[in-house]
Amino acid sequence: MVIQRKNDRREIKKYYTSEEVWDNDDIIFTINYVKLRYIVANILTKVPMEIVDGLHNEALILTVTTEDKGVYYHPTHIKDKYIILIAGSQLDADDIEHTILHEVAHYL
């Protein structure tokens, strides 16, 4: 956890910002799906840092759309990692947060 100073008080930071999650290609691997990557990054801000750190070390969130005829992921991206596959085009705004959090819970 990161300790931040706020008004001369120490506060323990429990969650990452969306920018911190966005920048981490070890967690979210998307190919030209900027909107879906943004959505996943924002949702992971609701997940405690220790779980996101575990995802960073042991899991990979892959995103695809049904418009894809095929997707190739290099073995260096997926070796020895849990895979969470998000079919972004199948989810509407109401489903996507629940679906991503549900799949992350399987990792636990």
Query: Does residue 22 belong to any structural domain of this protein?
Result: yes
Which DSSP state fits 65?
A: -
Query: Does residue 91 belong to any structural domain of this protein?
Result: yes
Query: Does residue 45 belong to any structural domain of this protein?
Result: yes
List phi, psi (to 5°) of 34: -60, -45
Domain range for 41: 16-107
Query: Does residue 2 belong to any structural domain of this protein?
Result: no
pLDDT tens track for 9-48: 566 779 999 888 888 766 777 666 777 788 888 999 999 9
Query: Does residue 88 belong to any structural domain of this protein?
Result: yes
Q: What sign does the CA torsion over 99, 16, 26, 106 have?
A: negative
Contacts of 65 (CB under 8 A, 6+ apart): 33, 36, 87, 88, 89
Query: Does residue 10 belong to any structural domain of this protein?
Result: no
Could you give the number of structural domains in the chain? 1
Query: Does residue 89 belong to any structural domain of this protein?
Result: yes
Mean pLDDT of the residues in the chain? 78
